[in-house]
Structures are given as C-alpha cells and as structure tokens.
Amino acid sequence: MESDKYNQASARPAPEELKELLDGTPGGTGQHSGVGKDAKRGLEFLYDVPLQVSVEVGRSKIRLRDLLNMGEGYVIELDKLAGEPLDLYVNSKLIAKGEAVMVGDKFGIRLTDVISASDRIEKLG
C-alpha cells in the first residue's frame, strides 16, 4: 500500500516526504510504511524526468497596441537593471540566480546564488 504522505490527486510525494528523501531527516530512510525493511526508495527513479529550464532576463508589461506595432529595432524596457543577476527557473520555480557568460558562440549562465533545498521544497506545497 502506498504511503499516506502521497497526494492522491496528483500521485506525487508530499513536500515533507520529498524533504525527508533529499536531506535524510528522520523518517527519510527511503522506506515506505508497509514495505519490507530491505526495500529502499532513492531518487534514482527521477533522474530521467525531463524538466523545462528557462532563464529570465527581466519582465515588462506592454499594451496590445504596442505589441502589434513591434518591428526590428523595437526596444522593450525590462524591470531589471543592467548587471543584475538573471533568474534560473526549472518548471516555473525559481532555483538560482546567475550571470550571463559566453560558452563558445553560445550564451550560458554561471550560477552565483542557488536557492537552498529547504526553501525550494517549502515552495512546492
């Protein structure tokens, strides 16, 4: 039988179970209630799950009229100042902040501040 910690509507572990799995807190031995003590649950089953990663330079609100009038050379003012850290999102959740870098002829992001695991887990609920 599945653990009572599962959210039955979405069939995903509850935030407290994720926290136990990630940082090995008491009860986070990887064992489900009702499962033999030799059966362990790790995070390996999640390794192949695809995630949507995006980097946000800034945001802006514009009117539909302005959107329709856009063309080459049009400039949209963003809410961030030049030099401010970029935001790294995974599945629309803020994970880290960083700075833009060039990797060969492509852009990349060097992480400068990673949101703590406990803060990320807290925001899942």
Domain ranges of the chain: 1-47, 50-125
Is the CB of residue 101 less than 8 Å from the CB of residue 108?
yes
Average pLDDT of every residue of the chain = 78
How do strand 6-7 and strand 106-114 relate by DSSP bridges? unpaired
- Kindly report the length of the chain: 125
Condensed to tens digits (0 to 9), the pLDDT of residues 19-72 reads 776 666 555 444 444 444 334 567 788 888 999 999 999 999 999 999 999 999
Topology, domain 50-125: Surface presentation of antigens (SPOA) (2.30.330)
Enter the pTM of the model. Answer: 0.58
3-state secondary structure of 112: strand
Query: Residue 2 above 50 pLDDT?
Result: no
